[in-house]
Chain A
């Protein structure tokens, strides 16, 4: 539920921002994330930025997943 997608803030005007997702642009409201800055990625839900994406955590999660994948490969090759 709650379709929200990561969108990049390109410019800010007062409480609204121009955001971009995969080449399409929309006006977004920053009423719920007034601290967001140009260059931040925000989670866009029904036109509102509901949170700022934590890019460090995003990378950490990927790193964890990559480690799991490597481990899985090693274990698979041990079996075969």
Chain B
């Protein structure tokens, strides 16, 4: 596949790896914020290729993992309302809420349907005029514009039975909160490539400027991640702290203006609850007043019941990079992919699931 296979060539990987080994003298703690990067790193065994000076830490960039129980309970409650078709990305199906999960209520008769795109959800809305179709909107700045666009399209076409529950979150504010907490010592940040495709590289500048942290925007192929590490090492070795783009074929410094405009047209920022991090100001998105009629929180009476947090689950600490999955008492004993306690084990890019599946034990 074009623009993918070229960035997986092993002979090219060796070149970058060689450079990293040659140049890296200082210890470097790098955080990959984005869960997709965690998956790439583990799937291709990238940690094994890097010198011992480099330590890789996983961050809270997994929209599934950071969805709070209270929010998930809302989605589950919506699914149980008669006449509602809850459409969702596959990622959310098995995540445990306070008492149940979308998968469980589906088994009990709720109409929960997995879709690949809001386009598919709109299609379901068109085909079921007597039902009310709610889209579970999770994801960061990469995905939020697609929900915003779907709402504009619904408005344009006069589709009156389409709604969305906005659980969207924004990355820069949570990175700031993470850095402000002082819990994690970092030497560099691998910035999310597709979030940056939308927001550009400028929103990361405060990290380099105010926290003195080198930032490089990376793509998702193994060569992309290796190139990014190489650029971070170069900054660290030379005492620089700047924002650079490694993923130049996918990211422009100014981002995607049209996508940003559409997002701004439909959404406004609000405080959001992040699992493990609590309430973070300006880090969530909610519908603007003029789009209220698409807002599932307003259009439906949702009674999710009291929130219950699972005992012993340290997903929050893992998301902040304070602990690793092995530090968790429940990891692999009580909490497994078959019977997950917390979201880090459910999401395929959650640290716990990734460690369990690809083997932190390694070989």
Chain A contacts to B: CB under 8 angstroms? 1-6, 8, 15, 21-22, 27, 29, 31-35, 41, 43, 45-48, 50-51, 53-55, 57-58, 60-62, 64-73, 75-76
With A6-B3, A75-B22 as contacts: A32 and B258 at CB distance below 8 Å: yes
Contacts of A61 in B (CB 8 A): 7, 227, 246, 248-249
CA distance A71 to B11 in the complex (A): 12
The list of the 7 closest CB pairs from A to B, nearest first, reads A47-B117, A69-B15, A2-B194, A72-B18, A2-B142, A58-B249, A6-B3
Do the beta carbons of B117 and A46 come within 8 Å of each other?
A: yes
Chain B contacts to A: CB under 8 angstroms? 1-4, 6-7, 11-12, 14-16, 18-19, 22, 34-37, 61-63, 89, 116-120, 139-140, 142-143, 145-146, 149, 152-153, 192-195, 197-198, 220, 223, 227, 230, 246, 248-252, 256, 258-259, 262, 349
Do the beta carbons of A31 and B117 come within 8 Å of each other?
A: no
Do the beta carbons of B18 and A75 come within 8 Å of each other?
A: yes
With A66-B12, A72-B19 as contacts: A46 and B89 at CB distance below 8 Å: yes
Contacts of B3 in A (CB 8 A): 6, 41, 53, 58
Chain A residue nearest in CB terms to B11: A69
Chain B's nearest CB lies how many Å from the CB of A41? 6
Cross-chain contact of B194 among A32, A41, A45, A66 (Cβ < 8 A) = A45
CA distance A73 to B18 in the complex (A): 9
CA distance A27 to B118 in the complex (A): 12
Do the beta carbons of B146 and A32 come within 8 Å of each other?
A: yes
With A46-B116, A47-B116, A61-B248 as contacts: A1 and B12 at CB distance below 8 Å: no
User: What are 30 A-B pairs with beta-carbon distances under 8 A?
Assistant: A1-B36, A1-B192, A1-B194, A2-B34, A2-B192, A6-B2, A21-B1, A22-B1, A29-B146, A29-B153, A31-B149, A31-B153, A31-B262, A35-B258, A46-B143, A46-B146, A47-B116, A47-B119, A50-B198, A53-B250, A54-B249, A54-B250, A58-B248, A61-B7, A61-B249, A62-B6, A67-B15, A69-B14, A72-B18, A75-B22
Cross-chain contact of B16 among A47, A65, A76 (Cβ < 8 A) = A65
Do the beta carbons of B259 and A50 come within 8 Å of each other?
A: yes
Could you tell me the dominant secondary structure of chain A's interface residues? mixed
Do the beta carbons of A29 and B140 come within 8 Å of each other?
A: no
Do the beta carbons of B250 and A43 come within 8 Å of each other?
A: yes
Contacts of B249 in A (CB 8 A): 53-55, 57-58, 61
Contacts of A76 in B (CB 8 A): 18
CA distance A62 to B232 in the complex (A): 18
Do the beta carbons of A47 and B259 come within 8 Å of each other?
A: no
With A43-B250, A45-B142, A58-B3 as contacts: A71 and B15 at CB distance below 8 Å: yes
Cross-chain contact of B118 among A47, A53, A58, A75 (Cβ < 8 A) = A47
CA distance A35 to B257 in the complex (A): 11
Cross-chain contact of B197 among A15, A27, A51 (Cβ < 8 A) = A51
Do the beta carbons of B250 and A51 come within 8 Å of each other?
A: yes
Contacts of B142 in A (CB 8 A): 1-2, 4, 45, 50
Contacts of A71 in B (CB 8 A): 15, 19
Do the beta carbons of A65 and B250 come within 8 Å of each other?
A: no
Chain A's nearest CB lies how many Å from the CB of B312? 26
Contacts of A53 in B (CB 8 A): 3, 249-250
Contacts of B62 in A (CB 8 A): 1
Chain A's nearest CB lies how many Å from the CB of B336? 23
Contacts of A47 in B (CB 8 A): 116-120, 146
CA distance A70 to B18 in the complex (A): 11
Chain B's nearest CB lies how many Å from the CB of A55? 7
CA distance A65 to B192 in the complex (A): 21
